[in-house]
């Protein structure tokens, strides 16, 4: 009732109160439960950070061991779910498959008893199985045998094992890659009320089951302006290389409002300075891109040179300066993922695995909020006030 305020894209609307993630877009600050992202990237693991986001505190040794055991126990997929994969067209996008599989989990694991049960079993089940599903989708797309997880590997190492081990060439674990993967997932683990998290909260507010809410988050993340940007950055860098575009031509195209070309991996709704995650991701390029390895296995990547030249040119350009457009997390993350051997169409899936703890933490916070209401925004109506029905032969 009363005057409705129109806020396109909800840029100035607080949709919830939250104690999970703190962001200061002007100063480039990101903290999970108060802990700076830089400290977590340097000292934590993805599993520990997931625990922090969901429960609000770092686990002690016993809690962390218990979580790791539970994640291992839950890592297998129901064999009947494997059949789903076989009926997808071979070119199906893995994000579409992932959101459908997560939604299907509700039918395979319906036993939600209460909210505490959700947290201890369902959350860990989701975190563990999403990783298995992603690796399995990749193996099946290649026509290869799927690989089972190993109980002696950590969460991140197991993902690389399930992705890249095969009966002919066993995967030799590379612990620089394991570290880079942990950092990649930590940096993506939460980002307050972004498009996919807002989707999880909106869908969850109707009190649907958690699988359906997470599935909605995965669908939202798929878009090129959101999680799809890491894939789009590589597409853009390849376009620059393949078409022989000079850096200044690429910057000029990005500024031209009549050209749909944008600098993917640049700009952010909240950060008006360098995205703190992009700084850490750039450092990860140095860790894993080594001159003495072949390019497809973490060796120097010519796209990194293009990316760095593009960053320098854009940051020196008044258009980007005036609009406060800086590299975001996706600008360098694609290069890190390529070095790990992750195929480009799996990049957004990698983001989804990382964001899952954030979605779960936000879903839980919402479910426990005594002031929670079903999401039901209003609108500013611009249509006809009233018109009469026209019979068919008078139209
Ligand atoms: N290249 C060229 N111009 C840009 C770019 C860009 N990447 N980003 C914004 N602008 C311009 C835009 O054209 C607009 O200009 P004007 O005011 O003259 O119309 C101005 O900057 C403001 O942009 P906006 O689109 O109104 O800002 P937004 O807050 O609605 O959009 C964004 C934010 C991230 C969608 C946008 O910056 C963008 O499309 N970036 C490229 C895609 C990308 O990298 N997405 C990943 C975001 S970070 C990870 C995640 O959240 O998933």
Using a 6 Å cutoff on CB, does residue 230 contact ligand 1? Answer: no
Reported ipTM: 0.96
User: What is the CA 186 to chain-centroid distance, rounded?
Assistant: 10
CA–CA separation, 45 and 357 (whole Å)? 13
Q: Given this model, what pLDDT does residue 82 score?
A: 86
Whether residue 114 has pLDDT greater than 80: no
Tokens read off for 228: 């799809």
Q: Given this model, what pLDDT does residue 285 score?
A: 87
Q: What is the DSSP letter of 120?
A: I
Among 194, 265, 267, residue to substitute to test ligand 1 (most atoms within 8 Å of Cβ): 267
Using a 6 Å cutoff on CB, does residue 265 contact ligand 1? Answer: yes
Look at the pTM and tell me if it is higher than 0.90. Answer: yes
Phi, psi of 24 (to 5 degrees): -125, 105
Report which protein residue has its CA nearest ligand 1's atom 37: 267
CA–CA separation, 191 and 23 (whole Å)? 8
CB-based contact 100:65 (threshold 8 Å): no
Q: For 230-275, how does the pLDDT look when each residue is reduced to its tens digit (9 = 90+)?
A: 889 999 999 999 999 999 999 999 999 999 999 999 999 999 999 9
Report which protein residue has its CA nearest ligand 1's atom 21: 323
Q: Give the count of beta carbons closer than 10 Å to the beta carbon of residue 338.
A: 22
Distance from residue 258's CA to the centre of ligand 1 (Å)? 15
Distance from residue 320's CA to the centre of ligand 1 (Å)? 10
Distance from residue 262's CA to the centre of ligand 1 (Å)? 8
Q: Given this model, what pLDDT does residue 140 score?
A: 84
CA–CA separation, 209 and 358 (whole Å)? 17
Using a 6 Å cutoff on CB, does residue 272 contact ligand 1? Answer: no
Q: Which atom of ligand 1 is nearest to the CA of 226?
A: 52
Distance from residue 278's CA to the centre of ligand 1 (Å)? 16
Task: Report which secondary-structure segment, H or E, holds 21.
Answer: strand 21-24
Report which protein residue has its CA nearest ligand 1's atom 13: 257
> Is 286 noted as a catalytic residue in this protein?
no
CA–CA separation, 375 and 36 (whole Å)? 31
Tokens read off for 83: 């059949």
Whether residue 112 has pLDDT greater than 70: no
Report which protein residue has its CA nearest ligand 1's atom 30: 269
Q: Which residue from 8, 17, 218 is spatially nearest to 100, judged by alpha carbons?
A: 218
> Is 268 noted as a catalytic residue in this protein?
yes
CA–CA separation, 183 and 366 (whole Å)? 27
**Alpha helix segments (H runs only) across the chain:** 37-43, 46-55, 61-73, 79-86, 94-108, 115-117, 124-142, 155-164, 175-188, 195-204, 210-221, 229-242, 247-255, 276-288, 302-315, 318-322, 330-340, 347-368
More confident residue, 143 or 325: 325
User: What is the CA 247 to chain-centroid distance, rounded?
Assistant: 28
Distance from residue 266's CA to the centre of ligand 1 (Å)? 7
Q: Which residue from 300, 174, 175, 303 is spatially nearest to 231, judged by alpha carbons?
A: 303
Q: For 282-321, how does the pLDDT look when each residue is reduced to its tens digit (9 = 90+)?
A: 999 888 887 666 666 666 778 888 998 999 999 999 999 9
Cα-based angle 102, 163, 291 (whole degrees, multiple of 5): 135
């Amino acid at each position: 009732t009363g005057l409705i305020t129109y806020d396109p894209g909800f840029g100035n609307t607080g949709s919830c109160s939250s104690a999970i993630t703190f962001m200061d877009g002007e100063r480039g600050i990101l903290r999970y439960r108060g802990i700076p992202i830089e400290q977590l990237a340097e000292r934590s693991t993805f599993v520990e950070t997931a625990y922090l986001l969901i429960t609000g505190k770092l686990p002690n040794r016993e809690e962390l061991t218990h979580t790791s055991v539970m994640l291992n126990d839950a890592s297998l997929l129901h064999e009947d779910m494997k059949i789903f994969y076989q009926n997808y067209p071979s070119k199906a996008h893995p994000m579409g498959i992932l959101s459908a599989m997560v939604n299907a989990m509700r039918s395979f694991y319906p036993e939600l008893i209460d909210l505490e049960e959700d947290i201890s079993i369902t959350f860990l089940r989701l975190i563990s199985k999403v990783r298995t599903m992603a690796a399995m989708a990749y193996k099946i797309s290649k026509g290869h045998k799927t690989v089972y997880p190993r109980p002696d590997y950590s969460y991140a190492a197991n993902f690389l094992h399930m992705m890249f081990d095969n009966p002919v060439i066993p995967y030799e674990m590379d612990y620089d890659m394991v570290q880079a993967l942990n950092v990649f997932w930590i940096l993506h683990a939460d980002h307050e009320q972004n498009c996919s998290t807002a989707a999880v909260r909106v869908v969850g507010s109707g009190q649907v089951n958690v699988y359906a809410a997470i599935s909605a988050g995965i669908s939202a993340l798929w878009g090129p302006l959101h999680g799809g940007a890491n894939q789009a950055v590589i597409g853009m860098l390849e376009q620059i290389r393949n078409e022989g575009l000079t850096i200044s031509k690429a910057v000029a195209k990005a500024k031209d409002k009549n050209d749909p070309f944008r600098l993917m991996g640049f700009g952010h709704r909240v950060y008006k300075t360098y995205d703190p995650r992009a700084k850490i991701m750039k450092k990860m390029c140095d860790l894993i891109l080594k001159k003495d390895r072949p390019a497809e296995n973490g060796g120097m990547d010519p796209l990194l040179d293009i990316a760095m030249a593009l960053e320098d040119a854009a940051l020196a350009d008044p258009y980007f300066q005036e609009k406060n457009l800086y590299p975001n997390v996706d600008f360098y993350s694609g290069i890190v993922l390529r070095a790990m051997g992750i195929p480009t169409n799996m990049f957004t899936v990698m983001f989804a695995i990382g964001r899952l703890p954030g979605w779960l933490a936000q879903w839980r916070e919402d479910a426990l909020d005594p002031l929670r209401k079903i999401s039901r925004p209003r609108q500013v109506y611009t249509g006809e006030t009233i018109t009469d029905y026209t019979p068919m032969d008078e139209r």
